[in-house]
């Protein structure tokens, strides 16, 4: 009797163990099913994204609507605004010349477009930011020299009424506007990848005449300012060891820096012309695999 009871207990234990193993096997299979389900959802999500990307590429290749390019929109807006601004300066000067003749229109150049030119030169300082943050492929140093130089000139003229009627101011405005009437259409073409060959040639050849003319006019205006500023602005800005620092001294120091700035800009434009018009693409030969 006791032996039969022991056999019965042993058989029940074996049954219980088999039942536990069966339960654990079901649990493992449920976990695997959940993992398979989650993996299937991930795969379906990836497949959906891949399908959307394929459709977008297909639409772009077929000429469908492309996503908005805010960089292109901003640069197009900026260059168009500056182009229209300097075009307005030239048109205003030309209308004045037609209506009153050259002798009468030259003394009124500052009165007609002086504030507009000053505003446009302030707006042009954005080009320093464009170059610094990488919106355009240009060196920030060249943008700084040009913006600072022009702002200095427009303020020398603005704060010296005796310069307002000078013929130098009229021709300076004409020269600056002529430069920008070529430069900004070229930039617009670059933004959209459509630069006509004549415009490119004009961009990199016109500076050879317009830049030296503009620089000469700037130097003459600075020399004229040195003659008039000591009387109209005699105030002392700073006094060190008995030496008085006035605005005239600052203008003189700027004049001494002009040759270096001019050489830098001319060298920059020369390098640009050489690379854009006469540059040769380097051909790299692939090495043969031995």
Catalytic residues: 211, 218
- Buried b or exposed e, range 272-284, using 16+ CB within 10 angstroms: bbeeeeeeeeeee
Q: How many Å apart are CA 93 and CA 176, to the nearest integer?
A: 13
DSSP string across 197-219 = HHHHHHHHHHHHHHHHHHHHHHH
> What angle do helix axes 247-277 and 140-158 make, rounded to 10 degrees?
140
Beta strands in the chain (DSSP E): 236-240, 243-246
Contact predicate 85/116, CB 8 Å: yes
Maximum separation of any 2 CA atoms in the chain, in Å: 140
The residue behind tokens 């168009």 is: 80
What distance, in Å, lies between the first and last C-alpha atoms of the chain? Answer: 88
């Amino acid at each position: 009797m006791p032996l039969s009871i022991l056999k019965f207990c042993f058989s029940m234990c074996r049954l219980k163990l088999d039942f536990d193993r069966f339960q654990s096997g079901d649990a493992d299979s449920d976990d695997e099913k959940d993992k398979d389900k989650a993996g299937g959802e991930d795969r379906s999500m990836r497949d959906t994204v891949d399908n959307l990307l394929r459709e977008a590429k297909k639409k772009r290749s077929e000429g469908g609507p492309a996503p908005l390019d805010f960089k292109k929109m901003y640069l197009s807006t900026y260059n168009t605004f500056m182009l229209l601004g300097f075009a307005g300066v030239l048109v205003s000067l030309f209308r004045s010349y037609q209506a009153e003749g050259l002798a009468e229109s030259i003394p009124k150049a500052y009165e007609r477009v002086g504030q507009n030119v000053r505003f446009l030169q302030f707006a042009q300082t954005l080009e320093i930011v464009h170059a610094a943050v990488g919106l355009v492929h240009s060196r920030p140093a060249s943008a700084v020299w040009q913006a600072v130089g022009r702002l200095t000139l427009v303020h020398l003229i603005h704060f010296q009424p005796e310069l307002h009627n000078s013929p130098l101011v009229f021709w300076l405005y004409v020269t600056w506007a002529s430069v920008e009437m070529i430069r900004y259409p070229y930039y617009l073409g670059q933004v959209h990848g459509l630069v006509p060959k004549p415009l490119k040639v004009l961009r990199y050849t016109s500076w050879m005449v317009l830049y030296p003319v503009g620089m000469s006019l700037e130097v003459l205006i600075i020399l004229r300012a040195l003659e008039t500023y000591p009387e109209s602005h005699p105030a002392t800005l700073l006094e060190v060891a008995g030496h008085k620092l006035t605005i005239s001294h600052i203008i003189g120091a700027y004049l001494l820096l002009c040759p270096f700035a001019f050489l830098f800009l001319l060298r920059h434009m020369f390098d640009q012309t050489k690379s854009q018009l006469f540059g040769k693409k380097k051909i790299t030969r692939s090495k043969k695999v031995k």
